[in-house]
Structure 1
């Protein structure tokens, strides 16, 4: 898969956003920050919800937390709505924290799992974007992601990795080492993989917030359309 090109100026703009993301505040931005009117992710089920209750933990950064969106418009919300629309009795728990790097996620994963009332049937693991913005050595990102997958393996929890990719202007060495992390770890840990969480959305102004880094509600809907079937398949296996 080809990585959508991100201009150097956009990367610098994204890096400047870290100060906002690191506040760890998930308060929604003004609606004027969205490029298009923000549609609700809630939909009426097309078929009755039935079957066993399923719990999915969405563990990641601002792309899961719903940075800049109104309450109920995050990616976990959108995926939950699509699963229930298929009749799957699933609750998607949003454990996204804006600004988290893979190291931050590694520190809080076990604590998050221990606090859950019910062991999740599936974990969506989505980190790495802030590692790119900080230009963390890909070896460190790989080690952190591997440690989280090891923890989930020990607990017997299946995983969907939602991958991240580095912009070409970081140079071929960084890009090649970084981009290989997710497919490599997915193979090693027998995890399902969505190769690039922002595929088809990044670089599309009508699908992104004004920062050019985070999807707006319409962009989230596009991502959920792609990822929700993968979640449904994993829950059915």
Structure 2
């Protein structure tokens, strides 16, 4: 009986010593476009991403959504060191810039903050995926072009994949955008994920 008791005590220890089959950690740092603004959190594209990797991957990555509605590149840059230290992500998805533009931040300032985030993420050993944004036409073609060049230039310089416009095929589409004209509805979230997935999947 003693050997049986000893074996029963040992089994949990052996089980706990076996490494769990887990994939990398994906850290999403974004604003309201990634924070499921004004829709159920379960409907957001980041949550849909978690569901997809669990269904399709043997060792699915943990998806950490550190997105905050109203977030700017300056605010995210301040939070990033702590997020990197805590989660040690293998992939960092950066989706920022919309609030900077709405607040009148110059493209030069936007570029500087995004660049620091990319550099910090790469120094921490993470791959980076950059998700670009656009602004309404009333900002003028010159400003919109400079904004596009910020994302394209950073992608070239730091050799990171870029999705030029996160809401491609969603913006301006009836039923896919909320009344504010800025945020996708729950019905638009799967299309947002389809935009991101082809670029993110190779990084996992």
TM-score, normalised with respect to structure 1: 0.73
1:61 matched to 2:18? The reply is no
> How far apart, CA to CA, are the structure 2 residues paired with 1:96 and 1:155?
19
Contact 2:148 2:164 in 1 (8 A): no
Give CA deviations for 1:23-68 in whole Å, capped at 9, x if unaligned: xxxxxxxxxxxxxxxxxxxxxxxxxxx9642211111111111111
Contact 2:41 2:47 in 1 (8 A): no
1:99 matched to 2:99? The reply is no
Which secondary structure does the structure 1 equivalent of 2:62 belong to? strand
Contact 2:90 2:125 in 1 (8 A): no
The one of 109, 112, 125 aligned to 1:143: 112
The one of 57, 66, 89 aligned to 1:87: 57
1:219 matched to 2:188? The reply is yes
Which secondary structure does the structure 1 equivalent of 2:28 belong to? strand
User: What do you get for the CA RMSD once the two structures are aligned?
Assistant: 1.7
- Which residue pairs with 2:44 in the alignment? 74
Give CA deviations for 1:110-169 in whole Å, capped at 9, x if unaligned: 1222222xx111111000011121121111101110111111121121011011123332
- Which residue pairs with 2:3 in the alignment? none
- Which residue pairs with 1:133 in the alignment? 102
Contact 1:165 1:175 in 2 (8 A): yes
Q: CA deviation at 1:223?
A: 0.8
Q: CA deviation at 1:234?
A: 1.2
Contact 2:84 2:124 in 1 (8 A): no
> How far apart, CA to CA, are the structure 2 residues paired with 1:179 and 1:130?
15
Q: CA deviation at 1:96?
A: 0.3
Higher helix share: 2
- Which runs of 4 or more aligned residues in structure 1 lie more than 3 Å from their structure 2 counterparts after TM superposition? none
Larger radius of gyration: 2
> How far apart, CA to CA, are the structure 1 residues paired with 2:83 and 2:24?
17
Matches within 5 A, 1:135-174: 135-174=104-143
TM-score, normalised with respect to structure 2: 0.84
Contact 1:83 1:228 in 2 (8 A): no
- Which residue pairs with 2:17 in the alignment? none
